[in-house]
């Protein structure tokens, strides 16, 4: 039994004394203890070494005592397993030397045996569960098929993912084949993560907001929905589409346990668009963690008041930035832990 099950209770929509809190990208680059590990090991070595991944996962928990841990990993381990080369370049980010641009490229993408290709992730989960000792739940995650496609086709990060969109709009048959391959792999991968011990999973659609509402339905949502359908009876699923407020109504009817909200959508609108019946997660602007700690505490309390303490998980509206002062991250977490309705 998980000792602090506040996060899981919020996902079920139960009444709580205060909402749970965790932060996207909490295991990582703003922590000095993480930077020491980063100096010694390159990015994918950290992902592929269970002892390192588990240690990085629990570092923020030791320091701040969040109500949930999220496994240190990366969304791009999926394309790596699918026979697509992915590098992580220093001061640049992801780089794919052979992007997927043609039908032939799509044909050469494999649906792997996730139990062997990604076994290091499941070993990291088991190692992390030992370190957590059932104190708090562990979250596993994957990128949405559309977000993964963006990197596979663009070959790197982008402000508009123009090449990825062009590929979808000029070669939709190949695009949908690639999206389906990613979806099938992701379902198998997340099911295996649940078997290994994660208590919930989150799907990150970081680039969903790049699409119009019509294109979002065609190239992103239908594939996320497949994943939710396949997983919802095995573990709670959180769907997070950055910039996708226009899809919240449909997302709320999918069987997901919670929806992530970014900072461009107010609590009032998010509750309205989702019918007020589903747990919401978010939506503090990560840059606002640069405000003075006392201001952060006030804003967090106000945010909880606006969302309401029930059916709510306090989080950022996207990942924590590398330049956030430690005391500011602490102020964010402490404001939630001391919250009284």
Mode of pairing for the β-strands spanning 93-95 and 87-89: antiparallel
Hey, CA dihedral for 169, 170, 176, 182, is it positive or negative?
A: negative
Distance (Å, rounded) from C-alpha 47 to C-alpha 61? 18
Domain 33-283 matching CATH 3.20.20.210: the answer reads yes
Q: Is the pTM above the cut of 0.95?
A: yes
Structure tokens at 112: 């792997």
Interval 313-327: pLDDT, tens = 999 999 999 999 999
Residue 118 — very low, low, confident or very high, per pLDDT cuts 50/70/90? very high
Strands (E) across the chain are located at: 69-70, 87-89, 93-95, 138-143, 200-205, 237-241, 258-261, 279-284, 312-316
Distance (Å, rounded) from C-alpha 259 to C-alpha 209? 15
Query: What are the residue boundaries of the structural domains of the chain, listed by start?
Result: 33-283
pLDDT greater than 90 at residue 96: yes
Task: Say which DSSP state 277 is in.
Answer: -
Interval 209-236: pLDDT, tens = 999 999 999 999 999 999 999 999 999 9
Q: Show binding-site residues.
A: 25-29, 44, 74, 151, 206, 318
- The length of the chain is 341
Across 69-81, average pLDDT: 98
Q: Show binding-site residues for substrate.
A: 25-29, 44, 74, 151, 206, 318
């Amino acid at each position: 039994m998980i000792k602090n099950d506040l996060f899981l209770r919020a996902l079920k929509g139960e009444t709580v004394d205060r909402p749970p809190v965790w932060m996207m990208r909490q295991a990582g680059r703003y922590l000095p203890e993480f930077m020491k590990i980063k100096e010694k090991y390159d990015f994918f070595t950290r992902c592929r070494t269970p002892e390192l991944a588990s240690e990085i996962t629990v570092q923020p928990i030791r320091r701040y005592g969040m109500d949930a841990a999220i496994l240190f990993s990366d969304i791009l381990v999926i394309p790596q397993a699918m026979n697509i080369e992915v590098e992580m370049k220093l001061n640049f980010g992801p780089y794919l030397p052979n992007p997927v641009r043609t039908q032939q490229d799509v044909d050469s993408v494999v649906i792997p045996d996730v139990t062997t290709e990604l076994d290091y992730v499941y070993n990291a989960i088991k190692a992390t569960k030992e370190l957590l000792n059932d104190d708090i739940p562990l979250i596993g995650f994957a990128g949405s098929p559309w977000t993964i496609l963006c990197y596979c086709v663009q070959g790197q990060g982008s402000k508009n993912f123009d090449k990825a969109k062009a590929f979808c709009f000029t070669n939709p048959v190949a695009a949908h084949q690639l999206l389906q391959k990613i979806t099938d792999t992701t379902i198998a991968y997340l099911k295996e993560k649940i078997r290994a011990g994660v208590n919930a999973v989150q799907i990150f659609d970081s680039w969903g907001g790049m699409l119009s509402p019509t294109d979002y339905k065609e190239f992103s949502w239908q594939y996320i929905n497949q994943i939710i359908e396949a997983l919802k009876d095995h573990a709670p699923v959180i769907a997070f589409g950055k910039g996708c407020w226009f899809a919240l109504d449909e997302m709320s009817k999918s069987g997901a346990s919670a929806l992530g909200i970014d900072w461009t959508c107010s609590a009032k609108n998010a509750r309205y668009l989702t019918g007020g019946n589903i747990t919401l997660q978010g939506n503090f602007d990560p840059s606002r963690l640069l405000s003075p700690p006392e201001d952060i505490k006030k804003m967090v309390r106000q945010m909880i008041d606006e969302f309401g303490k029930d059916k709510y998980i306090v989080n950022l509206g996207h990942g924590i930035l590398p330049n956030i002062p430690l005391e500011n991250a602490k102020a964010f977490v402490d404001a939630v832990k001391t919250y009284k309705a």
